[in-house]
Amino acid sequence: METSFGDRLRALRRRAGLTLEALAEASGVSARAISDMERGRSRGPQDRTLVALFDGLGLGGAERADLAAAARAARAQNASGRPRSGEPPRGVSDFVGREAESKLIAQHADGAGTGRMAPVVLIHGQGGLGKTALALHAGEELRARFPDGRCYLDLRGMDPTPLAVGAALRRLLQALGADPGRIATSEDEQASQLRAILAERRVLLLLDNAADETQVRPLLPGTGTAMTIVTSRRTLAGLEGVLRIGLAPLADAEAAGLLRTIGGATSRSASDTEIGTVARLCGNLPLALRIAGTRFASRPGWTMRHLIDRLADEERRLANLTAGDTGVAAAFALSYAQLTGPTATLFRRLALIPGDDFTAPLAAVLVDTDHHHAEHLLDDLADLGLLQAVGDRYRLHDLIRLYAAECLRTDETRPERDAARRRMLDALIDTAITAGRWYEPGHGAPPGHWRGLDPLDTQDRARAWLRAELSNWVGALRAAARDGQHQQVVDIAESMHWYSDQSAKDGPWHEVYQRSRTAAAHLPDRRQEITHINYLAWVLIYLELRYADGVELAMQAHRMADEHGDAKGEAEALWLAGAGWARAGDHDRSLTAIRRAIDVADAAGIHDACVQYLVSLGTAYKLAGRTDEAVDQYRAAIQQAQVRPMSRTPRLVALSTGHNGLLRTLTQARRWPEALAEAPATLTAVQRSGSVLQLSTTHLLIGLTYAGLGMRDAARAALTRALELNGSMVQPDPETTEAAESALAALDVPDDNGPAPPTL
């Protein structure tokens, strides 16, 4: 009859004349562990423990080999026996993606058995991201590295009453083979027993769906050869020495791959565009993708277009992302149920925010509190995975936003919703107008008593707010238009007049001025309507290069201005029409219109506009190929900008555009020494104006000038700076990019004449 490992160990100990305590002292293995081995209550020991026993017993080569073989047989018998409590549930057979996360987990497993603390990995994130699926997948991938098995426990962290610590400890101890009769009664002693067992086994613990740190901490091993993977919707920030892996939605390619895998044969006829659209509507969320793919696969008569049409309806999207007892909304509801009153209220109302992301001050307005309290509430939401926090900004996943909107409709009254929405829109509109007015003549810094979403105490801060909150203040503009708040729409657009000139490539100016033109038509002041027609004409001519359309609109404004005796509107319309004709190649009409605009503005004493038109006349001469006249005109315009009584921002803009136009003309004419002499003044003027687009262009022109003079190192530095500045804009200017890159390439080719003139 074959002798078991426990019997052999007991026989060898007695032959050596050692008690349990004596062998424990000689080997360093606890007496309890040796007793469990001898009675067959624990698995065969791992190699490190076995070597310690060999040494403690003073065994030679043959006896060592014999006992080692018995230990391996014991482990194998245990592993191949009937299923034990704690076996992991069935994972998914079509696991896709998460390669980087899986690699991190595998690398962290290398720390098991190195003498340091046993490695612990926490996988956290919102519901539906596939945390459990990743944990089970990683456990399967690591199976060979943990021959003593894997032990799974659902901690029920999202239940109204999560699994108690004592119950969790007992289940783990029993799953690991501990004698139920010898399990301690206190939680501290149970935790000590668990650590003692795990110290000698290569076991992978999978602790799924953890509630908090208090629940998890007693379950973790100390030193030894075990490893633990924990999943939780919370970040469990109080746990130390843990590798945290925060899951995000799948990458586009991974999401598409998962959809095609689940969809099976029925998805083969779908185009990449259709698959990508479904993935986007699912927010690349694994749970949503699985449900969508399953629904598609189970309906052979459907095309991918059927699925797209159903998911496109935002009010029904969550309902369509339900299959059997599984649903995206149900997954989110578990987290929502964890929220306290104020946090739940804020979560619901975040669905009202129009933009892609937001900061604490905007969230504070929704619940009528200060931003410090709002930060605490937002941190609670982020900790539970209902928000994504990046720096000081927060973002809702698209599907969570839809769920929050559902909660808002069902859990709050219409007056409560409307009041919160009105406070938020008014705050956005007021702050946007105040920020834009930093650039407007006669405005600047807000008054000391003003309180908004940002202090806006400097122009740089105003610019930063307008850029960061672009999707929010434009969303507020759209909401005002939908609500028929025509004067608010006009006020927002009017406040952006000079800011839009300096941020031409960084804003949705067509939409802004199209909406303000429409809104102004509903108001009684026709001069206001003329102004906003001209603003839209500016967008068409200067930003969209739609010269004919822009000129037609400008001439419409001119006719209205003439009818209503609006000298300012008439001059601006003539200037815009002249600019459009100049760029379209109709130089005679262009020069006539711009000269007329100058005369009208000068006669009316509109100095800000008059100097701007003087600069434009220089541009019209340049486009007509009349270089000497263009140079003279730019210099005259710069001189007038220095002596006329102008507002600060228009003066800065006139000086920057005048100097930039002069430098451009000299560069294109290859008048390199004159261009080099003009460069410092241009750079100073453009830097003062704050226009990143013009600053990028100026560095491009300076780089071309250096290249023309054979100063290649200086040219490279200036051209590289031009590319950096251009790339920093929301919408980089492609012509600047092309010209700078071409000039840099040309520097490597000998050319006595310097690079070709820019085509900007």
**What CATH number is given to the structural domain containing 687?**
1.25.40
Residues with Cβ within 8 Å of residue 740, at least 6 apart in sequence: 700, 703, 719, 720, 722, 723, 726
What token pair was written down for 429?
A: 């509109």
Shortest CA distance to 504 belongs to which of 733, 701, 696? 733
Cβ–Cβ contacts within 10 Å for residue 404, how many? 24
Q: Is 173 contained in some domain?
A: yes
Q: What is the CATH number of the domain that holds 54?
A: 1.10.260.40
126 vs 16, higher pLDDT: 126
Is 488 inside a domain boundary?
A: no
- Claim to verify: residue 114 and residue 148 sit in the same structural domain: yes
Q: Which two tokens stand for residue 692?
A: 């990143």
- What three-state secondary structure class fits 168? helix
For residue range 39-51, list pLDDT tens digits in order: 766 656 767 788 8
Specify the 3-state DSSP secondary structure of 471.
helix
Residues 241 and 257 in one domain: no
Q: Which of 102-116, 235-249, 628-642 has the highest mean pLDDT?
A: 628-642
Residue predicted with more confidence, 535 or 56: 535
Segment 54-59 mean pLDDT: 86
Q: Which band of pLDDT confidence, cut at 50, 70 and 90, is reported for residue 1? A: very low
More confident residue, 4 or 329: 329
Q: Report if residue 140 sits inside a domain.
A: yes
Instruction: Encode pLDDT of 306-348 as tens digits.
Output: 889 999 999 899 998 988 778 999 999 999 999 989 999 999 9
Q: Is residue 701 in a domain?
A: yes
Spatial distance between the Cα atoms of 2 and 15, rounded to a whole number of angstroms: 19
> What is the reported pLDDT for 750?
63
Q: Are residues 335 and 310 in the same domain?
A: no
Q: What is the pLDDT of residue 43?
A: 59
Q: What does the DSSP assignment read for 226-246?
A: -EEEEEESS--TT--S-EEEE
Averaged pLDDT, 437-461: 87
> What's residue 83's pLDDT?
37
Distance CA 228, CA 215 (A): 14
CATH number of the CATH domain containing 350: 1.10.10.10
Say if 551 falls within a structural domain.
Answer: no
In this structure, the answer to whether residues 202 and 338 fall within a common structural domain is no
644-690 pLDDT, tens per residue? Answer: 999 888 899 999 999 999 999 999 999 999 999 999 999 999 999 88
Mean pLDDT of the chain: 89
Integer Rg of the chain from CA: 36
Task: Tell me whether residue 122 is in a domain.
Answer: yes
| Same domain (yes/no): 109, 235 | yes
Question: For residue 566, what is the DSSP state?
Answer: -
Select from 293, 324, 355 the last residue of a domain.
Answer: 324
Q: How far apart are the C-alpha atoms of 728 and 739, rounded to whole Å?
A: 17
Which residues partner with 232 through β-bridges? 124, 210
The reply to whether 185 and 283 lie within a common domain is no
DSSP character at residue 117: B
Q: What pLDDT is recorded for position 76?
A: 54
pLDDT of residue 630: 96
Kindly state whether residues 41 and 57 are assigned to the same domain.
yes
Two tokens, residue 455: 């202090």
Classify residue 556: in a domain, yes or no.
Answer: no
Q: Other C-beta atoms within 10 Å of 689: how many?
A: 23
Strand, helix or coil for residue 275: helix
pLDDT at 113: 63
> Are 349 and 277 in the same domain?
no
Taking residue 535's Cβ as centre, other Cβ atoms within 10 Å add up to: 25
CB-side exposure of 408: number of CA atoms within 13 Å?
A: 25
User: How high is the pLDDT of residue 82?
Assistant: 37
Instruction: Determine which of 91-95, 183-187, 409-413, 752-756 has the lowest per-residue pLDDT on average.
Output: 752-756
The span from the CA of 552 to the CA of 557, in Å, is: 9
Contact in structure between 577 and 558 (CB atoms under 8 Å): yes
pTM, to two decimals: 0.78
Window from 34-48, 420-434, 584-598, 700-714 with minimum mean pLDDT: 34-48
> What whole-number distance in Å separates Cα of residue 86 and Cα of residue 499?
64
β-pairing verdict for 326-327 and 243-246: unpaired
What are the tens digits of pLDDT across the range 512-559? 999 999 999 999 999 999 999 999 999 999 999 999 999 999 999 999
Chain centre to alpha carbon of residue 562: 50
DSSP 187-224: HHHHHHHHHHHHHTS--EEEEEEE--HHHHGGGS--BS
Give me the count of residues in the chain. 760
Would the pLDDT of 81 be above 50?
no
Give the model confidence (pLDDT) of 152-166 as tens digits.
999 999 988 999 999
Same domain, 164 and 212: yes
Query: What would the mean pLDDT of 706-720 be, rounded to a whole number?
Result: 94
3-state DSSP call for residue 472?
A: helix
What is the DSSP track for 642-692?
Answer: HHS---HHHHHHHHHHHHHHHHHHHHHTT-HHHHHHHHHHHHHHHHHHT-H
Comparing 33-37, 214-218, 392-396, 647-651, the range with the smallest average pLDDT is 33-37
**For 245-302, what is each residue's pLDDT tens digit?**
999 999 999 999 998 888 777 677 788 999 999 999 999 999 999 999 888 888 777 8
Q: What is the CATH number of the domain that holds 224?
A: 3.40.50.300
Q: Which of 98-102, 216-220, 300-304, 364-368 comes out lowest in average pLDDT?
A: 300-304
Same domain, 669 and 755: yes
Tokens for 736, please give them. 């600047």
pLDDT value of position 177: 84
Q: Is residue 114 part of a domain?
A: yes
CA 379 – CA 388 distance, rounded (Å): 10
Positive or negative: CA dihedral 635, 637, 640, 641: negative
**CA 172 to centroid of chain Cα atoms:** 39
User: What is the three-state SS of 587-624?
Assistant: HHHHHHHHHHHHHHHHHCCCHHHHHHHHHHHHHHHHHC
Query: How far is the C-alpha of 703 from the C-alpha of 696, rounded, in Å?
Result: 11
pLDDT one-digit tens code per residue, 95-126: 888 899 999 999 988 876 666 788 999 999 99
CA atoms within 13 A on the CB side of 689: 30
Which residue's structure tokens are 């130390």?
240
Residue 427: C-alpha distances to residues 361, 367, 420, 422, 515 (Å):
10, 13, 11, 8, 20
Q: Which is more confidently placed, 10 or 433?
A: 433
Q: Per the structure, how many domains does the chain have? A: 5
Q: How far apart are CA 242 and CA 247, in angstroms?
A: 15
Structural domain ending residue among the three candidates 412, 447, 476:
412
Q: Residues near 486 by Cβ (< 8 Å), separated by ≥ 6?
A: 519, 520, 522, 523
109 shares its domain with 182 = yes
Q: Can you say how many angstroms the Cα of residue 276 is from the centroid of all Cα atoms in its chain?
A: 19
Q: Which of 272, 290, 324 is the last residue of a domain?
A: 324
Same domain, 130 and 197: yes
Q: Where in the sequence is the domain holding 397, given as residue range(s)?
A: 331-412
Looking at mean pLDDT, say which of 82-91, 259-268, 387-396, 728-737 comes out highest: 387-396
Average pLDDT over residues 156-182: 90
